[in-house]
Amino acid sequence: MRCIVSGRVQGVFFRASARQRAVGLGLTGSAKNLPDGRVEVIACGDRHELAKLRRWLAQGSPMAVVDDVECESLEMEAPDQFTTI
């Protein structure tokens, strides 16, 4: 799945928190800051765990203010780990 998260999501440990949450759910993928202030999260794994991550993304890290989360299905080979870029 690929999600684009908007709001105050850069500079508030959002990517690191997303990585921690994803790893805890057994997911692989990545989280990276986009030039426009949003964060892109790509996650691969069990669909139930992906749904849990999607719900978490709507709340975000403690200092984040999430305005919107747009997710789509993504067909790709799953990476070996979850990284922040």
What's the CATH number where 46 sits?
3.30.70.100
8 is catalytic: no
Catalytic position from the list 2, 8, 33, 54: 33
Question: Domain containing 36: what range?
Answer: 2-84
The pLDDT tens digits of the residues spanning 31-60 come to 999 999 999 999 999 999 999 999 999 999
- Residue 31 contacts by C-beta under 8 Å, 6 or more apart in sequence? 14, 15, 18, 19, 22, 39, 40, 41, 42, 82, 83, 84, 85
| Tokens describing residue 19 | 């990585």
47 is catalytic: no
Catalytic position from the list 2, 15, 47, 55: 15
Question: What is the structure's pLDDT at 60?
Answer: 93
Question: What is the structure's pLDDT at 74?
Answer: 84
Residue 71, pLDDT > 90, answer yes
Question: What is the structure's pLDDT at 79?
Answer: 86
Q: Domain count for the chain, please give it.
A: 1
- Indicate yes or no: pTM above 0.85: yes
Question: What is the structure's pLDDT at 48?
Answer: 97
